[in-house]
Structure 1
Amino acid sequence: MTRFHSLILLIVGVACITVAGPERALAERMVADLSDHTIEITSQFSGTELLIFGAIERAIPQGDGGHGVAIEGMDYDVIVVVQSERHDMVIRRKGMAGPIWVNKNARTVKDIPGYYALTSTRPLEHILPEPILKGYQLGLDRLNVSFEQELSEREGEAYRAGFVRNMKAKDLYIEQEGLISLLDEILFRAVLHFPANMPVGDYKVDIYLARGGEILLHEKAPLEVGKTGLERVIYNFAHSHPAYYGIVAILVALFAGWFSGFVSRKMSV
């Protein structure tokens, strides 16, 4: 979906929530959507951007007109979180083995997303109190990272810091505070980046509307990331029949080695 179509949808959303009778309930409403609900990964995929947009109907009426107005201390904030399916991941810690660095200790991180991105209108600590932020796991510092093995507090913190640092280096964990545009306390838009190495699967998009230190509304939107074409066939075969995939990979490697050697001999004659 192009951004022109996204703008059309946004205008329709605004019309839906602003055209209301004078007897409507005095409560906030929010309409939110994505520029695309499907991301297709092909052999040429080098990353993409996703536009998340929406509109807010204010709860405070203005005189007899019935339209919202902004008053001091009643500013809205929007927080958007996108994350992939949760699964276990193995991380390894490097150590010295003689003169070289090698992977030594391995730990399993339980039930963790392979991709996590957050963006907001302001720094999170200016929007919500710490207990709410921790309860919703908003922000990388509050993401629940637990291990299958028993670890001391010091060792657990070291592994956690290393895991988050590596995921950020791969652009798989992103936190961008203050980048959501909020126009006239009504329209908002956020743009999130997805790298080429993003995991496939079903993602979830959570959009939070906050004001006065509490979450007023929580909207969700689905997002599917999948491979297409030959990449999809190979991916499905590798996950459905891993043993056969391994055998085929070995045979292909052997054939490639034999063929390159055959060509070299012919060229040298």
Structure 2
Amino acid sequence: MIRPYPHNYKIPSQMTFMLWLFTILSVSFGTISAHAVNGKLVADLSENTVSIESDFHGTELLLFGAVDGMQGDDIIIVVRGPDAHIAQRRKSKVAGIWINVETNIWTKTPSFYQILATRDLAKIANEATLQDLGVGATNLALQITPEKDPQETGLAMPTVNGMVGELVANMRALGLWGATTDTIALKEGALFRSVIDLPSNVHSGQYEVRIIHLRDGVPLSEDTTSIAIRKGGLSATIYNMAHEFSFFYGLFAVIFAIASGWLAAAAFRKK
């Protein structure tokens, strides 16, 4: 299990020196990433694997790298988790009772989406450039479909533009989506580092980390790395059993429930 960095964690000067030294050597010999474009941008993570166990309360990963840049250049880091189906419900008061009157399903939607940047995205590049890069919640090619046919319910067909604001607000409240600026330390347009914060409720799966280098709003280079988040310990055993041996897992759950009920009834009968 990865030991999480506290939010006020300050990297020791010796460790910082070693990271920068490793980055500089990697730029020279091209050892960090095979995805770098002509050696202009290279980046890596302090850890590429996270194990989720029963006592997992989130963790922070250090991302560091080097870029063939200039003073005033910008860096955008986009962390995207595996896609998921997300239900979005709307409640209404009917006969004095609040009930769900509409349910829409977001498909091909990232379960985790965080953006880190040297400054506000609107100051880094225009909307057309961000759209071409696919950066930002409105540029993810999201899809939404109603759970029930609108002809049966009499409700209007949902649209992405009309519903994406609520989706972003809900996911941000869960700590799974967000965008923060001034979170990347870029030294003299060459060395940079940032911290990726993974909350306790992240889904397991493969996470893509994109690092984009821009100058005066124009993308110059890009690198990609990944984070593998996996369940570990007893929770992993139960999860794997439920998916790989679903019949036996279900049978065991039924037998366990019956046995628990019988033991509880026997205990109360004796009293």
- TM-score, normalised to structure 1's length? 0.79
CA distance, structure 1, for counterparts of residue 178 and residue 163 of structure 2: 19
> What is the match of residue 90 of structure 2?
93
CA root-mean-square deviation: 2.8
> What is the match of residue 65 of structure 2?
54
Offset of residue 217 of structure 1: 0.7
2:81–2:110 contact (8 Å) kept in structure 1:
yes
- Partner secondary structure for residue 36 of structure 1: coil
> What is the match of residue 32 of structure 1?
43
Identify which range, 231-240 or 187-196, moves more after superposition: 231-240
> What is the match of residue 212 of structure 2?
208
**Counterpart residue type for residue 21 of structure 2:** I
Offset of residue 88 of structure 1: 2.9
Deviations for 1:87-145, whole angstroms, at most 9, x for unmatched residues? 33332222224332222322121211101111000101111121111122212343332
Structure 1 spans left out of the alignment, 5+ residues: 20-26, 59-68
Offset of residue 247 of structure 1: 4.4
Identify which range, 166-175 or 7-16, moves more after superposition: 7-16
> What is the match of residue 13 of structure 1?
23
Offset of residue 203 of structure 1: 0.9
> What is the match of residue 172 of structure 1?
176
> What is the match of residue 53 of structure 2?
42
- Partner secondary structure for residue 238 of structure 1: helix
1:6–1:35 contact (8 Å) kept in structure 2:
no
1:161 matches 2:161? no
**Counterpart residue type for residue 101 of structure 2:** K
What are the equivalent positions in structure 2 for 1:92-171 lying under 5 Å apart?
92-149=89-146, 156-171=160-175
Count of residue correspondences: 246
CA distance, structure 2, for counterparts of residue 146 and residue 132 of structure 1: 21
1:18–1:57 contact (8 Å) kept in structure 2:
no
- Say if 1:202 and 1:255 are closer, same or farther in 2 by CA, change over 3 A: same
Offset of residue 155 of structure 1: 5.5
Q: What percentage of residue pairs aligned between the two structures are identical?
A: 30
CA distance, structure 2, for counterparts of residue 201 and residue 225 of structure 1: 5
Deviations for 1:196-235, whole angstroms, at most 9, x for unmatched residues? 1101111111000111211111100021001012211211
Structure 2 spans left out of the alignment, 5+ residues: 4-10, 30-37
> What is the match of residue 222 of structure 1?
226
- Partner secondary structure for residue 202 of structure 2: coil
- Say if 1:249 and 1:135 are closer, same or farther in 2 by CA, change over 3 A: farther
- Say if 1:238 and 1:100 are closer, same or farther in 2 by CA, change over 3 A: farther
1:208–1:219 contact (8 Å) kept in structure 2:
yes
**Counterpart residue type for residue 31 of structure 1:** V
1:85–1:113 contact (8 Å) kept in structure 2:
yes
